[in-house]
A and B are shown apart, each in its own frame.
Chain A
Amino acid sequence: MVNTLAPEPTGRAPVPRSAGASGSAGGGSGRIRHRHRHRQAVVACLFLAPTLLFYVVFLALPLGFALLLSLSRWAGFDLGDIEPAGLDNFAGLFADGSTFLVPVLSNTLLFALGTVALALAGSVLVATCIEKLRRQGLWRTLYFLPILTTVVAVGNVWKYMYEPGGLVNGVLNALGLGSVAFLQDADTALPSLVVVQAWASLGSAILVLTAGLKSVPESYYEAAALDGAGPVTVFWRITLPLLRPSLLFVCVTQFLTGLQSFALIIVMTGGGPGDATDVAALEMYRQAFSYGEWGTASAAAFVLFLVVLAVTLAQLWFFRRKGEDA
């Protein structure tokens, strides 16, 4: 996930640590403090060593390696066979006849946008309604179940429910409607996946919105009640505007998650039928591990990374600006 709302490191001015020593002892304290500080630096190095080592081996090195691969031609196996290829891999992604822009990237965006819209609408509705009930914790717990479940379970259960003999079509048939081939029909496959992804992320969105709702001062509602405002007016005029930061947060995090996720799609459709549900991260995965096109895969990963980065920066910029307004 992406850090944005993090309370900024306060950047406090370095306060002398050994207050007792520095206050009274004059000349000698300098050396004590110096030794003290030196010891702290050594300890800090030790405490940070595992973390920094990890970042070198599993973050910096892979990033460099991925960048190298994206600019190379390589059949796998021997590292000595990596040949420079310039920007060929990137050019290939956007060449005529490449499916990367349409439908892969467009699917990715549709999937992310659809998830956001559905999860947002659902979580606002449910979160505001839960606020009015008793036993709020119990209700929120129920909505939480999907988050605890492995994507393999979520994907398979829904895949089965979407089948002709599954629960969803069972309900449709009971209502006198015809069956729908949700995952087999190219037109309905992607929206069907969007529903599942939104279903699975509803619980955490509700929690974030609940935190937002709890921070709305009670006096606002009292004042509105005195003025005779109905529940609908209160919702549109008070709740929704004051909930805006939480809403925005849910929007952005869901959007970023939607852009990146492909585990659910691997489990449910594998990108099919055809390439109706192929998304960028899945395409990257398949280029690498199914076709051995390591260069193309790495190039695709970087293109998607740029999209993600652009969204992240736009969000940072937006929150910064809002912070200055306040």
Chain B
Amino acid sequence: MKGTRRVTGRRVPWLSYLVVVTGAVLTVVPFLDMVMTSFKGPGEAGTLPYRFLPKAFDLSNYRAAMDQLDLPLLFRNSVVATAVITGSVLLTSSLAGYALAKLRFPGRDLVFRLVLATMMFPPFLFFVPRFLILVHWPLAGGNDLFGRGGAGLTVSIVALAMPFLVNGFGIFLMRQFMVAIPDEVLEAARIDGAGEFAVWWRIVVPQTKPVLVTLGLLTFVDAWNEYIWALLVSTAHPEVMTLPVGIQLLQDHVDPARTTPIVMAGLVLSVLPVLVLFLLLQKHYVRGVMLSGLK
């Protein structure tokens, strides 16, 4: 493939380089601007004339961001919510995917169609009713049996994760990969006396590990970056605030001359974990986006 391409264009493809490099610069520059701004001193950002580089690489904005925010709390909430969501999506997708791919039971096609149909409903449709359901959750957060009197589950960190615990695309993805596992392998294990749970755990899960990694990464990034729902839940209850929500709030607090650099410092801190993870597991993630492009 590469060989023939080179025959058709023996010259260095300067024009292509120009386009790709220009685009790449446009993609990366906002991030560089974010990093540079995070080092700028008071009155240095947002003043004319614009300067890309800071006068000095001063870490005081990072210290200020950490002082302003309860970073341990925000990190803890983000980590817990992300971990719970990712774990739950992997578990439920794998279990349901296995049932839909390899177990025979009446109504299987119906359930699969239902799972596919769930992906047709856009998330915005659920913001209001899901929030109200959590507020009126019976016997939680001071509510009585009929969901009255208290704040329900919205006071709990559980609320951050709840609407994302099951993912229709995840189930679909796992099922598609499990269908490809030969029945003979599973049958052999069953004849050896393995129960369905053991077949799933000892044979199916190991065989689908790469897909699980991919799905896990996609879910992790989405959960870590989630903003709207977290904003909704934590507006009334700051104790369940996540990193993106907390950093957005930085704008309202800080001394105006330093607001932008401090916000940028907070953003750098929140973007870093995902970036590191991505660089480590790049191939899996890119594959995941390709796969979700196929859904």
Contacts and interface: CB of A to CB of B under 8 A. Distances in A.
Contacts of A319: none
A214 to B, nearest CB: 9
A166 B50 contact: yes
Nearest to B5: A132
Given A3-B295, A43-B99, A44-B99, A165 B24 contact: no
Contacts of A143: 23-24, 27
Scoring A15, A47, A167 by chain B CB atoms within 10 A of each residue's CB, the highest score goes to A47
A97 interface: no
A157 B132 contact: no
A45 interface: yes
B293 A153 contact: no
Interface string B256-286: 0000100110010011001100100010001
Contacts of B24: 139, 142-143
Contacts of B28: 142, 145
Contact of B121 (A63, A153, A161, A285): A63
B289 A204 contact: yes
B129 A63 contact: yes
A5 interface: yes
Scoring B176, B200, B244 by chain A CB atoms within 10 A of each residue's CB, the highest score goes to B244
Contacts of A152: 227, 244-245, 247-248, 267, 270
A50 interface: yes
A91 to B, nearest CB: 19
Contacts of B187: 17-20
Interface in A150-191: 150-154, 156-158, 160-161, 163-167, 169-171, 173
Contacts of B26: 199
A308 B123 CA distance: 11
A165 B47 contact: yes
Contact of B45 (A59, A137, A160, A171): A160
A309 interface: yes
Interface in B131-161: 131-133, 136, 146-148
Contact of B105 (A40, A57, A284, A297): A40
Contact of A148 (B92, B263, B275): B275
In terms of DSSP, what is the predominant structure of the interface of chain A?
A: helix
Contacts of B169: 1, 3
Nearest to A163: B46
Contacts of B227: 150-152, 263, 266-267
Nearest to A50: B92
Nearest to A294: B128
B119 A47 contact: no
A109 to B, nearest CB: 15
A248 interface: no
A113 interface: no
A117 interface: no
Contact of A167 (B33, B99, B147, B282): B33
B1 A301 contact: no
Interface string A1-13: 1111111011100
A45 B29 contact: no
A37 interface: yes
Contact of B50 (A167, A203, A256): A167
A132 B1 CA distance: 11
Interface in B2-61: 4-5, 7-9, 13, 15-17, 19-20, 23-24, 26-31, 33-34, 37, 45-52
Interface string A239-271: 000000000010001001000101100110000
B100 to A, nearest CB: 8
Interface in A31-73: 37, 39-41, 43-45, 47-48, 50-52, 54-55, 57-59, 61-63, 65-66, 69
Contact of B130 (A10, A40, A58, A133): A58
Interface in B155-189: 162-163, 165-166, 168-169, 171-172, 176, 179, 183, 187
Contact of A147 (B33, B91, B289, B290): B289
Contacts of A281: 124
B286 A207 contact: yes
B224 interface: yes
Contact of A41 (B50, B105, B125, B286): B105
B228 A298 contact: no
A219 B245 CA distance: 52
A130 interface: yes
Contacts of A249: 293
A54 B129 contact: no
B206 interface: no
A318 B23 CA distance: 32
A259 to B, nearest CB: 8
Interface string B115-128: 11011111111111
Scoring A148, A204, A225 by chain B CB atoms within 10 A of each residue's CB, the highest score goes to A148
Given A133-B13, A167-B33, 4 more contacts: A147-B289, A152-B248, A260-B122, A266-B227
5 contacts: A47-B200, A58-B126, A173-B50, A199-B26, A221-B4
Q: Which 6 A-B pairs have the closest CB atoms?
A: A170-B50, A62-B129, A150-B225, A41-B105, A129-B16, A65-B129
Interface of A: 1-7, 9-11, 14-15, 17-20, 37, 39-41, 43-45, 47-48, 50-52, 54-55, 57-59, 61-63, 65-66, 69, 78-79, 122, 125-126, 129-133, 137, 139-154, 156-158, 160-161, 163-167, 169-171, 173, 199, 202-204, 207-208, 211, 218, 221-222, 225, 231, 249, 253, 256, 260, 262-263, 266-267, 281, 284-285, 288-289, 294, 297-298, 301-302, 304-305, 308-309, 312
